[in-house]
Every structure is written in structure tokens, then in C-alpha cells.
Amino acid sequence: MAAAGDKKELTEKIRNRALELGFQKVGFADVRTATRDKARLEEWLKLGYSATMSWMSGRKSERGDIQEYFPEARSVISVGMNYFHGEAAGEMKISNYAWGDDYHDVVKERLWKLLKFVQENRPGVHGVACVDTSPVMEKAWAQRAGLGWIGKHTNLISRDFGSWLFLGELILDCDLEFDAPFEEDLCGTCTACIDACPTGAIVDDYLLDASRCISYLTIEHRGDLPHEYENQLHGWIYGCDVCQEVCPWNEKFAAESDEEAFAPREEIVERTGDSWRYLSKDDYQKLFKGSAVKRTKYEGLTRNVAANS
């Protein structure tokens, strides 16, 4: 087992390297700190709020216990990368996070580089790099690592970048110096996100019904939109930023990202309503090559455009 001084030195080296790699937030958590989240996940699933996202329940035991996912896990490095480039506008809107390159590729590539750095400094260490496609409760780990708190809209909010952060984790089989968890709830009595949600998807403080959420409906839902929501997308054709746009923490602290990979593609943000309506499959494939928007597929995107026409 590494001495305390060695752990501290390695932790600070990792922190500095993570910042050099372009992460704005980095924190360290002990895998043994997970307690209440498994029960909260179970309750959310029982309420049916995961809608058709069967993978949430299919791997719930791993989500609830990170050592079921990676049995050797001892430390979790949680990182955040600012992606904000302004608020969506126009007749047909795409969520801010999908204006540039696919964050899954960008964040995971940097995490693998961070793992390589760890292994160069501590040979024999093994790890797993995770983004939101992994069965890991990333917002809960980010809070445990001190990055911020989970707001009433269920997104992680930080003091310095608001909630415009992509999250990722590097799970390691070695001990590090751990940061204090973020214990404060700085939402207070504010209900701006709940009040502004166009479809009432935030059914209670810190509780989201995905089946009502415009982001879920425009991205994950397959086939025809549910009848009650087919005219309720409010201009959104991929994702929705409303609950983030009205958050006072975002209004005050949002800072434009300097990550080139997330810079808006002009052909996406400047496209007009009419050109979206006549989007061909070839145009779709060219326009969204290497983009997160490919998640909804051509059929899903054109369905969303039609619902806003």
C-alpha cells in the first residue's frame, strides 16, 4: 500500500494532468462513500420514470454498486468539461451540447490519456474510463468528488461553470487522496427549472420523469411521439436546454468554452426551419458525422422536425 505522502503526490500529479488535458473540474472520491444512491435509483425505476430506457434497469446493480461494474475499484476520479457556447435560438433548436463534436469521443479520449499518465507514474495500476454510456451514476460520483451538487432539475451544478459540464470518470484500483464531497444544496427555495419545464417533466424537487422530458422524447424515444407530446416539443428537434437556461447559477456563471471540439458547427446552428424540413438522409449523414445527434438517427430527427412544423 502506498504511503500517505506518495498518495498525495500522485493525486496532485493526476489533478494537474487532468487540467492540462482540458478538464475544468477534477475531484477524487473513495468508492466506499456510495450509500443512498442505490435506493434512490431503485425507487426511480419503480416509478417508471426511466420510460423505454431499458438499459437503466438492465444494469441497475452495477449502477448502484460501482464494484459490481469494476470489482477492483478503490478510487473514482471525476472530471468535468465546460461545453457552453450560448443559448439555442431559432425556429428549430438543438441542445447546446450537440453543436460540436460528440462529447463521448472527446471526453473518453482524454480520460484514456489520463489513465496512461497514471500508469506511467504508478506501474501496475488498472482503470476504466467512463462517460454516460457506462453503468455509472456520474452525477452522484461528481458530487462525492466535490465538483458540485445535483440540482432540482437533476443536473450537476458547479459554483464556477453552472451545469454546462460534460462529466466523466476514471475508476482506478489504487488508493488516492480524496476530496471532501459537496454537501451544500445551493438550489435553496428556487424552483425556476421546475416552473419553466415546458412539459412538466420535473415532477418534484430532484425528480425527473423521463417520459415527459423533451430531451428524452427527441433523442431516446423510438417510433411515433406519444400523442400528448406530439405538438409539445416547443421548437426543440434534439435535446432541450430550458431547465438549464433559466437556472440562476447558469445565468451568473456560464462561461464560453474554449474547447475547439465543442465549437458550434455553422451548418447546424445557422440552418433555417425550411432547410431542416427538407433535410435528406445524405445531408443528415454529412452534417452530423462525428456528432452526438446521430443518436436519434435520421428517422428520429425528421420526426422531431415534423412535430415542430
Quote the longest CA-to-CA distance of the chain: 64
Q: Fill in the amino acid letter for 63.
A: R
Q: Is 123 exposed, middle or buried (0-12, 13-18, 19+ CB in 10 A)?
A: exposed
In this structure, the number of other CB atoms found within 10 A of the CB of residue 68 comes to 14
Residue 160 CA to residue 195 CA, distance in Å, equals: 24
In this structure, the number of other CB atoms found within 10 A of the CB of residue 205 comes to 14
Of 197, 237, 245, which Cα lies nearest the Cα of 217?
237
Residue 250 CA to residue 227 CA, distance in Å, equals: 33
In this structure, the number of other CB atoms found within 10 A of the CB of residue 101 comes to 18
Residue 266 CA to residue 40 CA, distance in Å, equals: 41
Q: Could you tell me which residues come within 8 angstroms of residue 260 by beta carbon, excluding any fewer than 6 positions away?
A: none
**CB distance 185 to 149 below 8 Å:** yes
Q: Could you tell me which residues come within 8 angstroms of residue 136 by beta carbon, excluding any fewer than 6 positions away?
A: 62, 63, 66, 69, 130, 169, 171
Active site includes 132?
yes
Residue 294 CA to residue 82 CA, distance in Å, equals: 21
Q: Fill in the amino acid letter for 143.
A: Q
DSSP 178: P
Active-site position among 30, 65, 105, 132: 132
Tell me which residues are annotated as active site: 132
